[in-house]
Structure formats: structure tokens, C-alpha cells
Structure 1
Amino acid sequence: MTQPLRYGINVTLDGCVHHETGLPPDAESMAFWTDELRRSDTLLYGRVTFEMMRAAWRRPESGAWPEWMGEDDVPFAEVIDRMPKAVASTALDVVDWNAELLSGDVVDAVRRLKQQPGRGISLGGVMLPVALAGAGLIDEYTFVVHPVIAGRGPRLLDGVDLTLDLIGRWEFGSGATVQRYRPVAAAGGAREEDG
């Protein structure tokens, strides 16, 4: 049995996934994303997302969270800061922040990571999920769809052909909608990692 790989991301109505588009985080959305992290034992990022998340959410050496964080942000920061992380990057030689570099082919490395014991792996980012979705390695997709038209920015899973089954849907008070999906098995057989 393999660990589930779960991809979660904020997305606008027009499919943009840039971190500056969408509604500002509120108590409800921060609590949701904190609980999503708690479903897994490991975080998986590519270099760009790892560096962005580390810059925002790593506990400063002083031990005190920065002034920009509100009380709704601190639980998320505490969970993400201490979680083990795996980073897929050919540009980095070393990583810190409770992280390890994945070596070799990223698809093979993630297959090996999924074979390790655990409750699951939480995947973030834009480019890495494209490669992993294309290889059939993502077991669950969670999209928080914001009632915003961004008109610019990277697109959700651009270039990936997927059919998904809706397994859960609910709304936040802000008007954002959480949509949770599982991939549909390809016609004529199970997904590769299930076989």
C-alpha cells in the first residue's frame, strides 16, 4: 500500500494559480489549509514553491513570528514550519527547513517517497504537480476556487488531460468553494500506481 499524494491549491474562476490572486486569507481558509497539512506527514514542493513557502512561513531565528502574521496565521505557520519536507530540484544542492532533496528522476523519486510508511504526502506548487499528474501519481486534488477573475498568471495543471470524480464540495463564508476530487481510472484498467 502506498501513501496518498494529495495536491491542494487556491485557484480563481478562470483557472489562475498565482499566489497573489484570489481572496485574501481569512480565519476560515487558514484553518482549512492548516487542517489539510495535518492530514499528511510530509510536504512535497518544487524549488520555487519551497523557497516561497520558506520565506513566508519559516520561524525566524528570534523564535517570534513576524508582525505581519495575524492570530489566524500562526497555527498554519507552526504546522508547516515543523513538518518534514521533500524538495524536487535540480538547481539546489542543499536544503534546510526540515527538508531533503529528492534525487534522480522526479517521477521515480516521488514513487519511492509514496512507498515509505505514512499517512500521506501534501503536494503544493504549480509546475511539479503538472509532471506528477501527467504520470498518474496524484491520488487526490483539492481546489479552493475563489470567486475572482484574475485574467493573468499561471494556469491550473496547464497541459494535463485528466478526468476527475467529485468526492466533496463545500463553501466558505467568503464565497470560495472547496472542491475535492479523485482521478478516474483510465479506460481499460487501473491507474498505474494501483496496478
Structure 2
Amino acid sequence: MRTVTFAMNISLDGYCDHTLFNPSEEVHEYFTSLLEEVDLLFFGRIMYQLMFPFWSDVAKHQSGTSDENRFAQKLTAIDRVVISRTLDQVEENTRIVRSNPVQELLKLKQQVGKKISVDSVSLLPELLAAGLIDEFHLVVHPVLVGRGRQLIEGGSLQENLDLRLVDTIVFKSGVVALHYLKQ
């Protein structure tokens, strides 16, 4: 059975709006290295539209810094599933699923392959309740933003989820990457 991983940038006060951070080269390299173990990306519509076509354009035109270009190349080469009732068109190597993200992820998890990376804050509580997320990579930025989307909205979890810290990386920028496994 495949491992399902969740990776997200987050502020010290628990917000995960990507537009509020300025990731360093180290952070881009960290996320690029995580993608080495992944062969499927599982997005909600909002995160998909935030990530694409932006990173596809960077990959195509090599218009970012060298670390951004490497991340963009790796990210856009991986097959994707996007959960959406409203999207009509998606990029190459992306498939739209219209309903039941839990059932879809469970089916994908049972297939042979590398890790599946979930990138959706809106789907996270439902996927956690179903027990489908196996590991977490939270990249904590040393900033308080006081606005944006919270990682977990108040009241959205039915019960506590105990995690075990297995790795910590402190970057020169003060960003801390935390790797947790579900207990």
C-alpha cells in the first residue's frame, strides 16, 4: 500500500497562504527533494489553481531562480489528480475527479507506486477523518501573518491526531522543516 504524505508551508501562527511567504533556496530544494519520492499529486481545486499554471510556466520558460526552476521541472512532471466540481480544463497529466475524494484517495493508495502527495487544506479534515494521511511535512516560516487560510479550521477535526516527530531540519533562514508520522 502506498504512503500518503501531506506537505505544507505554514506561519508560526498557523496560516498556510503561500502568497504570504518568500521561500528561500533551501526551502525550494527541500520540497524538490520530497518530490523525488512521489509519483502522484492529489490537489483540491484552490491549491491546484494556485500552483498551476504558475509552476508550469516557470518550468517551460525556466523563468525562476535555479532552485525554482528545478522545483518547477520536478513538480510539473508528476501526474496529478484534482478534486473539483467546477473545473472544466486542466493541464496535461492531470485528471479531474468530481466527487468523493476519500474514496478516490483510498483507491489510489491501494495501487502500486511511490508516495502520493496531498496538497489541499480544504480536503485535509475529511482525509484525516478517514485515516488516509500517513505522514506530514510542515515547513514552519519564522513569521506571524495573522491572516489567510489556517492549516486546520477550528472545529473541523473530530478527534485529536497524535503524531510522532521523526526529523527536524533548521534552515539558515530560520525556517524549520518538521517531519511527522501518524502514530
State TM-score, norm by structure 1: 0.86
The answer for unaligned runs of 5 or more in structure 2 is none
Task: Report the secondary structure of 2:81's partner residue.
Answer: strand
- Select which of 149, 157, 163 maps to 2:152: 157
State TM-score, norm by structure 2: 0.91
- In structure 1, distance between residues paired with 2:142 and 2:92: 34
- In structure 2, distance between residues paired with 1:169 and 1:7: 16
- In structure 1, distance between residues paired with 2:172 and 2:27: 9
- In structure 1, distance between residues paired with 2:97 and 2:110: 14
Task: Please name the residue that 2:6 is paired with.
Answer: 7
Matched, 1:74 2:69: yes
Work out which of the two has the higher radius of gyration on C-alpha atoms and give 1 or 2: 1
Count, aligned residues: 179
Which amino acid in the other structure matches residue 62 of structure 2?
W
Asked if 2 retains the 8 angstrom alpha-carbon contact of 1:3 and 1:121, the reply is yes
Q: Give the drift of 1:171.
A: 0.3
Which amino acid in the other structure matches residue 134 of structure 1?
A
RMSD: 1.7
Indicate the structure with greater strand content.
2
Asked if 2 retains the 8 angstrom alpha-carbon contact of 1:44 and 1:86, the reply is yes
Q: Give the drift of 1:86.
A: 0.8
Matched, 1:123 2:118: yes
List 4+ stretches of structure 1 deviating above 4 A: none
Task: Please name the residue that 1:193 is paired with.
Answer: none
- In structure 2, distance between residues paired with 1:100 and 1:155: 27
Task: Please name the residue that 2:61 is paired with.
Answer: 64
Give the percent of matched residue pairs that are identical in Structure 1 and Structure 2: 32
The answer for unaligned runs of 5 or more in structure 1 is 185-195
